[in-house]
Chain A
Amino acid sequence: MPRSILSTLCIAALPLLLCPILLSAGTKGADPKTAPATAQNQGEHLFAVNCGRCHQPPMSIPPRATGTIIMHMRTRARLSRQDEQALLKFMAP
């Protein structure tokens, strides 16, 4: 394929890749400096941060399966034991 077509393609793709940033310019997010205050909040924060690295965070996990699922995710995401405990407290308090 001619390089010019490829360049055009990449240039066309760039706005699509960057559109989220453009669309959300000026929107307010959480203050990253705000440290999670409680263990529950810490778990919620870790849930959003760690699960979102690979997939949409799932909302519907039966509590009796939570320990097993978190073991699986700890293995896959190489989470620390401390993070595992915080996630358990958030998902099955």
Chain B
Amino acid sequence: MKLWWIGTCILLTTCWAGAQKPDTDHTDAGYVPVLSGTFGYVQNVNGGVTSLEPQVETVLLVPFGSHVLLESRAEFFGFFQRENQTTGPFTGKVFKSVDYAQLDWLANTHVIATAGAFLLPYGLYNERLAPLWIRNLQDAPITDVIGTRPSGTGDGVMLRGNAYETPAYSIQYSAYFSTRSSINQLESSRLAGGDTSIFLKGARLEVGESFQHTLQEHQINNSGTYVSWQPERFPLDLKAEFDRCFNGEGYWIESAYKLSQVPLAPAFFSRVQLVPRVQQFHPLNGGGNSLPTKDTQRFDIGVNYYFRDNFRLVSSYGRQFSNQANANIWNAGVTYRFVWPLWPGRK
């Protein structure tokens, strides 16, 4: 019900915000409300158990001029499994959630103020790589839950921006405070945290550090260190992250490589992407809290095929090694990203 209320309010605001004039007349860029998002369908086989996962992510962007932006993401996630796991008809349900709903004030280069329910800027994954059309492998890293409990969202305020920039590098920051909330669709923990990274423009290398302190119950600290590198000379995207919290520590390394430099059949291979990933997790203090309770290692290899920049086939094979049980994990599916302006414009 709340989801419908939020949706209705945002749509009404959309109508009011219709045609906003930007503060620049140097370009043809328009500032109309936009509905963007992804349709996806993934078939997952984990340890012999098949699940069918149709998904829709919608991102609504409503600008008020060129300095204020209302943005929200809702997710509809279907999960269907056979009645007796491996036999019987498929049954399941569709889950719906509001991932975030926030108001941004883009004051200047150094300060962007955000209020509302925002994605926690912790590490590389939650804020940047999680969208269905962006993630190269459909399964999130094991350590993704570190720094993002309980829902990946914080309810409160955040300041972020570009702290310092030269032609050679830029330093970005985020600092936030979130209150505790048990409101349906807006669950969050009481916590404070921040993220800072330096981006070396010439090398296209980013190194960052996230920190978070929980201000409720055990008052634990979470920390993460990450690296992202996209060298100019070859179509590689290398990302790695190490996370540590009270319940455990682990890392993942992912490399995504487009085969555009293979001399054979370039029309085909330039659309193919190889994505190997290794990850390892070690529980501390018994683990748990959505993390494995035993030492866990996992290796994945994905092959994606891009029909267009917004339409691709995704597939992957993974093998998880754990003291509890080893398992093969297969994924195959398709993702399609759309961008729909919600207001008529020049083009």
User: Which A residues lie at the B interface, using CB under 8 A?
Assistant: 1, 5-6, 9-10, 13, 16-17, 19-21, 23-24, 27-30, 32, 49, 52-72, 74-82, 85, 88-89, 91-93
Q: Tell me whether A85 and B26 are in contact (CB under 8 A).
A: yes
Number of A-B contacts (CB under 8 A): 188
When the two chains form their complex, are residues B234 and A88 in contact, meaning their CB atoms are under 8 A apart? Answer: no
Given contacts A16-B255, A71-B61, contact A29 B234 (CB under 8 A): yes
Contacts A1-B297, A32-B232; is A6 near B30 (CB within 8 Å)?
A: no
Interface residues of B, Cβ cutoff 8 Å to A: 22, 24, 26-34, 36, 59, 61, 63, 66, 69, 71, 104, 106, 108-109, 112, 114, 127-129, 131, 133-134, 160-162, 165, 170, 172-174, 199, 201-202, 204, 206, 228, 230, 232-238, 253, 255, 257, 261-262, 274, 276, 278, 280, 295, 297, 299, 301, 306, 308-310, 321-323, 326, 337, 339, 341, 343, 345-347
Partner of A67, one of B31, B204, B206, B299: B31
The 8 Å CB contact of A53, one of B34, B114, B199, is B199
Beyond contacts A1-B297, A20-B234, A49-B201: 10 other A-B pairs, Cβ-Cβ < 8 A, are: A9-B297, A16-B276, A19-B257, A24-B234, A29-B232, A53-B199, A64-B341, A64-B347, A85-B26, A92-B30
A81 touches B108 (CB 8 A): yes
Chain B, residue nearest A45 (CB): B201
Name the A residues within 8 Å of B337 (CB-CB): 58
Alpha-carbon separation in the docked complex, A74 to B237 (Å):
21
Q: A9-B278, A64-B32 are in contact. Are A69 and B297 (CB under 8 A)?
A: no
Check if B109 sits within 8 Å of A63, measured CB to CB: no
Cβ A6 vs Cβ B34 within 8 A: no
How far is it, in angstroms, between the C-alpha of A28 and the C-alpha of B164 when the chains are bound?
Answer: 32
Q: Are A65 and B341 in contact (CB under 8 A)?
A: yes
Assess A64 versus B345: contact at CB under 8 Å? Given A21-B234, A58-B309, A71-B106.
Answer: yes
A78→B29 contact, CB < 8 A: no
Residue contact B34 to A69, C-beta cutoff 8 Å: yes
Asked if A80 and B162 make an inter-chain contact with CB atoms under 8 angstroms apart, the answer reads yes
Q: Would A53 and B61 be within 8 Å (CB), given that A1-B297, A24-B261 are in contact?
A: no
Q: Which residues of B contact A1 (CB under 8 A)?
A: 295, 297, 321-323, 326
Query: Which residues of chain A are within 8 angstroms of B59 by Cβ–Cβ distance?
Result: 72
CB-defined A-B contacts under 8 Å, sample of 17: A1-B295, A6-B321, A19-B274, A20-B234, A49-B204, A52-B204, A53-B199, A54-B134, A61-B339, A62-B30, A64-B32, A64-B341, A66-B27, A67-B31, A68-B34, A88-B24, A92-B27
Q: B323 — which chain A residues lie within 8 A by C-beta?
A: 1
CB–CB B322/A93 < 8 A: no
Query: Nearest Cβ distance between residue A50 and chain B, in whole angstroms?
Result: 9
Given A32-B232, A89-B26, CB of A60 within 8 Å of CB of B112: no
Per the bound structure, the CA–CA distance linking A63 and B306 in Å amounts to 23
**What are the residues of chain A within 8 A of B26 when measuring CB–CB?**
85, 88-89
